[in-house]
Amino acid sequence: TDEVYGSLGATGFFTETTPLDPRSPYSASKTSADLIVRAYSETYKLPATITRCSNNYGPYHFPEKLIPLIIKNILEGKPLPVYGDGSNVRDWLYVEDHCKAIEAVVRKGRPGEVYNVGGHNEKQNIEIVRLTIATIRRLMEEVPAYRTVLKTDLSNVSEGLITYVQDRLGHDKRYAIDPTKMKEELDWYPETTFEAGIVKTIRWYLENQTWVEEVTSGEYQTYYERMYSNR
């Protein structure tokens, strides 16, 4: 994860030589995992590589994360929680592109190396929410069959659902990854723009609501309510 590098300013990108600088216990735990892998590789000569990716999105993403949570709440007519003022920036990587990157590292990566995997799709959180609202509304107008999964009136699919909530502790302002090393050494580069990927993602969720219902029931539902009941 790019969280191991800490927070960026308004410009620049994380590279593989950026010092590790986690800013929260959560990101520190991920940094520890990287260091353990590196230590085992050095001590026992294991042929290990480390990848650090930006935010993933796409099919089968569990609905406690931003994009699937927003999709789920829109369909149910529930408030759309946005931390702080929504200006935090993340680099988004379509999951299929990430899978191809991992395959490239496994097949051609040099042992002991770190590879940054980014999507070159920087977006503010509030941009993500607004684009998701607009895309769902457009798809439902274009494909009336999608309205069967809508649990509210189509007129409620609007920015009126946006609800700003207290920012979370240790919420880094901006992450952005430079994937140049992946391109130059492994001939990999992200293929999917965010605008194309979000449409594919939303279509998948609209067409796979049975899966969503299954993962938001039982023990998962208890966890979800405990984590997000106040958001």
CB 197 within 8 A of CB 58: yes
Q: What is the CATH number of the domain that holds 58?
A: 3.40.50.720
Give the pLDDT score at 89. Answer: 94
pLDDT tier, 228 (very low <50, low <70, confident <90, very high otherwise):
low
Tallying the residues shown for the chain, one arrives at 231
Label the pairing between strands 55-57 and 122-124: unpaired
* Tokens coding 152: 């509210």
Instruction: Tell me: pLDDT of 231 over 70.
Output: no
Instruction: Tell me: pLDDT of 45 over 80.
Output: yes
Please list the active-site residues.
2-3, 26
Query: How does pLDDT run across 104-117, given as a tens digit for each residue?
Result: 999 999 999 999 99
Query: How does pLDDT run across 49-72, given as a tens digit for each residue?
Result: 999 999 999 999 998 899 999 999
Task: Check residues 88 and 228 and name the one with the higher pLDDT.
Answer: 88
Q: How far is CA 65 from the centre of its chain?
A: 7
pLDDT tier, 146 (very low <50, low <70, confident <90, very high otherwise):
very high
> Tokens 């990999």 correspond to what residue?
188
Q: How far is CA 122 from CA 53, 131, 177, in A?
A: 13, 13, 9
Residue range(s) defining the domain that contains residue 80: 2-223
* Tokens coding 119: 């999507």
* Tokens coding 139: 């798809």
Give the pLDDT score at 188. Answer: 97
* Tokens coding 8: 């960026």
26 domain-assigned: yes
Give the Cα-Cα-Cα angle 159, 134, 74 (nearest 5 degrees): 60
Kindly report the backbone phi and psi dihedral angles of residue 208, in degrees, each rounded to the nearest multiple of 5, phi listed first: -135, 45
Give the pLDDT score at 121. Answer: 93
pLDDT tier, 170 (very low <50, low <70, confident <90, very high otherwise):
confident
DSSP codes of every residue in 136-180: HHHHHHH-GGGGGG--S-GGG-SGGGEEEEPPPTT--SB--B--H
158 domain-assigned: yes
185 domain-assigned: yes
159 domain-assigned: yes
% the chain with pLDDT above 90: 80
Q: What average pLDDT score do residues 174-189 get?
A: 95
The closest of 178, 181, 187 to 13, measured between CA atoms, is 178
Q: What average pLDDT score do residues 195-217 get?
A: 94
Give the pLDDT score at 230. Answer: 60
> Tokens 């929680």 correspond to what residue?
81
Instruction: Tell me: pLDDT of 36 over 60.
Output: yes
Instruction: Tell me: pLDDT of 221 over 90.
Output: no
Q: What total of structural domains would you count in the chain?
A: 1
% the chain with pLDDT above 70: 96
Give the pLDDT score at 10. Answer: 84
Q: What average pLDDT score do residues 63-92 get?
A: 94
* Tokens coding 212: 């969503």
Q: How far is CA 97 from CA 52, 66, 94, 162, in A?
A: 14, 19, 5, 30
Give the pLDDT score at 169. Answer: 79
103 domain-assigned: yes
12 domain-assigned: yes
Give the pLDDT score at 172. Answer: 79
231 domain-assigned: no
230 domain-assigned: no
Cα pseudo-dihedral 104, 198, 174, 10, rounded to 10: 100
